[in-house]
């Protein structure tokens, strides 16, 4: 695909398969689904390309159909802080869309990704008309709050193995990212970006987690064998030794 045009200019309607990959679409009634499908658009973001930037007014509620994105922010010193990664099935920015405020974070593609968008006006229309959609958004907000609280706690820790375990556990969240399943397609370099570590240190942490039996590193990705073990490492703050 040519990237001569902007992400917005490259948008197009979703295919049937792409619509089926949206977790909340099945919760809508006939008229609600029709309104959503008519409005939904999808675009392809190249590696390193920004889907949205800090300070820009909200226009869409976004979801990852395929690929991997990261949410980050730059501080006054120009350093980048990564908050979360967003694999397939994840929808994000509902808080910003609810308040119709400007983005307080950057969303960047770590690899070539397909990103769907629902216009903020249709987002609010569904909130006004769909009980199923409201429940989905409430679950998202509740789960996201827990995710950010855990991320803030772990970011203060220096144990690299715990940072990697936390990053993986967050990416395998079945509520926020139902499209991931048991295997996440991710490279060690991409995981290093999300965990804020070097690729070499991430490799060492993955080896430790593999020896403990909580994950298995496969070609092109990671398979989680014991998700509760990863979560326990995150929330109990126990060193992974």
Tens digits of per-residue pLDDT, 117-130? 999 999 999 999 99
Mean pLDDT score, 184-192:
92
What is the band of 241 on the pLDDT scale with cuts at 50, 70, 90? very low
CATH code for residues 16-149 = 2.60.120.10
State the pLDDT confidence band at 110, using cuts at 50, 70 and 90: very high
Going by C-alpha positions, the residue among 233, 68, 211 that lies closest to residue 164 is 233
pLDDT, mean of residues 198-205: 94
> Would the pLDDT of 239 be above 60?
no
Predicted local distance difference test score (pLDDT) of residue 4: 63
User: Is-contact 147 84, C-beta < 8 A?
Assistant: yes
Q: How many CA atoms lie within 13 A of 42 on its CB side?
A: 21
Q: Say what the pLDDT of residue 237 is.
A: 43
Strand 221-224: give its sheet, edge to edge. Answer: 183-184, 221-224, 215-218
Which of the listed CATH numbers 3.20.20.140, 3.30.1110.20, 3.30.9.60, 1.10.10.10 matches domain 158-236?
A: 1.10.10.10
Top-confidence residue, 139 or 80? 139
Average pLDDT over residues 92-119: 95
- When mean pLDDT is compared across 59-68, 134-143, 158-167, the lowest value belongs to 158-167
pLDDT confidence of residue 108: 95
Q: Give pLDDT, residue 238.
A: 47
| Segments making up each domain of the chain, as ranges | 16-149, 158-236
Q: Is the pLDDT of residue 76 over 70?
A: no
Residue 36 is given by DSSP the state H
Q: Which two tokens stand for residue 217?
A: 């590193």
Asked whether the domain spanning 158-236 has the same topology as the one spanning 16-149, the reply is no
Per mean pLDDT, which range of 88-97, 169-178, 232-241 is the poorest? Answer: 232-241
Exposure class string for 143-177: b at 16+ Cβ within 10 A, else e: ebeebeebbeebeeeebbbbbbbbbbbbbbbebbb
Mean pLDDT (the chain, rounded): 88
* Confidence grade of residue 236 (pLDDT, cut at 50, 70, 90): very low
């Amino acid at each position: 695909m040519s990237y001569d045009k902007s992400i917005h200019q490259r948008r197009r309607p979703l295919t049937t398969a792409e619509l089926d990959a949206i977790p909340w679409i099945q919760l809508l009634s006939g008229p609600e689904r029709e309104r959503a499908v008519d409005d939904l658009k999808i675009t392809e973001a190249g590696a390193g390309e920004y889907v949205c930037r800090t300070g820009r007014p909200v226009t869409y509620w976004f979801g990852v159909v395929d690929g991997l994105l990261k949410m980050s922010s730059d501080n006054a010193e120009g350093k980048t802080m990564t908050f979360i990664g967003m694999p397939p099935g994840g929808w994000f920015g509902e808080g910003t869309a609810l308040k119709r405020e400007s983005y307080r974070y950057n969303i960047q593609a770590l690899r070539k990704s397909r990103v769907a968008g629902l216009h903020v006006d249709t987002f609010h229309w569904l909130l006004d008309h769909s009980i199923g959609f409201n429940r989905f958004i409430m679950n998202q907000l509740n789960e996201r709050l827990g995710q950010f609280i855990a991320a803030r706690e772990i970011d203060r820790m220096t144990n690299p193995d715990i940072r990697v375990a936390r990053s993986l556990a967050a990416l395998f969240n079945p509520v926020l990212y139902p499209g991931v399943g048991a295997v996440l397609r991710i490279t060690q370099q991409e995981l290093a970006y999300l965990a804020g570590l070097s690729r070499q240190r991430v490799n060492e942490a993955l080896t430790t987690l593999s020896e403990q039996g909580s994950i298995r590193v496969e070609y092109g990705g990671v398979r989680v064998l014991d998700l509760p073990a990863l979560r326990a490492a995150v929330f109990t703050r126990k060193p992974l030794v």
